[in-house]
Structure 1
Amino acid sequence: MKSVLRVLERVRNVPGLGRYVIALAIVVALGLAATGYAFSRYGWDLPWQDSNLVAAEFEKAPSIRPESRHEVRIAGVRVGTIVSAEPQPNGNARVVMSLDPGHKIYTNARAVLRTKAPVDIMYVALDPGGPPGKPLSDDGAIPVSQTKRLREPWETLNKLDERAQSALTSLINQADAALAGAPQHLPKGLRATDATMATFRPVVEQLQTRRENIAQLVTSLAQISAAVGQDDQRLARLTSALQQALHVLANRDDELSATLAQVPGLTKDLRHAMTGTSTLTKQLSPTLDALHASSEELPPALSRLSQTVKAAGKVVEDAAPVVEKAKPVVADLRPLASDINGALGELKPVTGHLPSATKRIVPWMEDLAAFVYQTSSAASLADKNGGLARSNIDFDLLDQADGAIPDTARAGRKAGN
């Protein structure tokens, strides 16, 4: 007590020390409050706080880390956390949950291991059960038959064969490539979708109108039914009239039987007629199909024929002068026709040797063409530029003394020597 009084006395006597002590006390208080709030939000169980431990066996418990304090929910409300997870000798996973006081768990309880985010932030959705189930004992556990777990995507992919996995991988890669250009191409697709939905608007309006008409029809039928139910006298008269009509039909039963006896023959004749009609339609169908195909091909053919006839007309018009001029030539050639007929008879033995001669000449055609070409070039007095004068100049390559000089100069020099 004296030490406390001494400290207070010192705080009062030392200038400024009181402010520092107050500021330090405020900082410590704020730190303790923040720490307490953080622990309360994180879900820590205080040592003196009562808790209810419940165990459940799952086939597997992927992504469960007890230090992460995964939530336990009942009807979507957080009621506890996962405090431990251990593998069992039978291959299952035993998960122990700490529940807030006041929650009874029965033997028919069910637990489902789920995720609340794509990154596998796990939680347990717990159904506590109830009567006729019995309260779960302290050392009891929810059996694996009453629990379910989250299926990981890779577990589903592992059940696919190699080709399916390869196709799925290719699909994901192609989707990645397609989404890379989404900012450029996706707006166009959305605008096209908007335009398509706009075209569906009349259809939707018609469906709405039809729905309203059906509703009115149902209402009218209900009103008619109500009116018929209330009009007992008219319904009684209608029933009496129906009874009288049936009595009349009963009195004329014989006539009706005779009429019905004639119906089988009529139906037989109708069946034969329908059979013949069916056979005729089967025969006409190929013919009509062929006519239909011909009708589709005939207009283009007629169009092409018309163009051909127009072209032929122009050719005939252009050939008319030639035919007129060719008539005298043909008349002059008529005397030669008889001589040609006689010459053809004499040429017949020669033509028999032409195939073998042609067969022998064909391999030499390229050499023969080159020979003709070179000979024509050497002997011709014209080239592509027209006619020209050609001359031959001789050089005596053996006489190198005087070089290339005309023959007359060389002859004169030789005569001088």
Structure 2
Amino acid sequence: MTRAVRNHWKDFAALLVLLVVAIGVGSYILSHQRLYLPDWVPVIGSDFVDRKLELSTAQAITPGQGQEVAIAGVKVGEVGSVELKDGRAVVTMKIHRGDATLYRNATALVRPKTGLNDMTIQLDPGTKDAGKAADDWVIPISQTAPTVNVDEILASLDVDTRDYLQILLGNAAQGLDGNANNLANTFRRFEPTSRDVLEITRLLAERHDNIKRSIHNFRLLTEAVATKDDELAQLVDSSNAVFQAFNNQDRALRSTLQQLPPTLNVAQTNLAKADRLAQTLGPTLQALRPGARALGPSLRQLRPFLVESTPIIRDKIRPFARESLPTVKILRPAARNLSKLTPDLTSALKVVNYLVNELAYNPPGDAEEGYLFWAAWTNHAGASVFATQDAQGPIRKGMVLASCSTLQTLPNIARANPQLGVLIQMLNPVSARQACSSSTGAGSPTPPSSTGTGTQGETSPAATTASAKGGAG
């Protein structure tokens, strides 16, 4: 055998190539002929399970033609067989084991896949809430829907309706002949309408869900209220009593409502003022923000002081406060008595404060000075007046200005009135001969002379006057 292969290796290689090509072509053909190998065949084996459904009619469902079974548009199997049972068509579906789980609310729809009635079964496996179905469970006819052909619809019409429909289609064909573009444009004009209708439908569906939710919630509320009959009766009785009280107070309520408009006007005025306050307060608070931001670092810097002051407060201030409690109890009656005098004392202090403010006020400018300015001059003048004293007390300094004619009459006055003579002697005036010039004529003005309390007199400056002047300085 080996020698024959060596001698005819070219022929042997050609046979191997033909064998491989035959296997490939056969596999391709068989795969398109829906040939499924058993599940024990590795890699290419298939594992199917049977699931059944009932239909009122199995028209156009043909087993062995590859009519598929799809879930959500994905092929999961094909139609295996169709049989008649109790006047109903029972379709057996071969479904991959991984997709064969069905629930009690599973549904099936038979729909044409092509215009040649190549049918497909659209399967909905259901939800877990309904419970898992058994392996031999058959989808009932109430949960399936077969396809409906046009001839069935037309066959359900009576003769007159079919005639009218035929006339309608004939006239429509004549009217649309050559107007395909116009019809297309007309359909395009319906695009906004269809879009709006879609939005309306979506909103209606949402409203439907809301209505369902409201009905469900109302049912729950009604059930909850049904368990509270006694409480509801008590509520009704209480409400009746409240309304009866309102009825008894009808006049008072009416009076209150009549007073409500002025109250609302006052409230409106206050709100306007509050608005102005808010407008003023807004910038103020905005200006306070930097200070508030700086308050954090200040408080952190204050922490060491608080830590250091804690022992002082604990060891010194608190014991002092405890020791001062008896004294505070003693002073409490005096404080109460003082609080009674506080209004009068406050008024007196306000008057004193006003007096001090008046004394301390210094008008602006140099034209006028305040009281304290003249108080300084008074202090200076008083020191000058009372600086000299003897055993009898302080000696008041003074200066008397008199004209020469007055000095000449003083001796006559002293002789005429002894009391005035004593005063003139205490005045110690200078003589007219010493103070006045001998060359002064009778008609010329007489220069004034001065006399004082000292031992000697001083002649006044050369100012002249026609009458006597006196002063002190």
Structure with the bigger RCO (C-alpha within 8 Å, sep 6+) is: 1
Where is the helix percentage greater, Structure 1 or Structure 2?
1
* Larger Rg, first or second structure (1 or 2): 2
| TM-score normalised by length of structure 2 | 0.36
TM-score by length of 1: 0.41
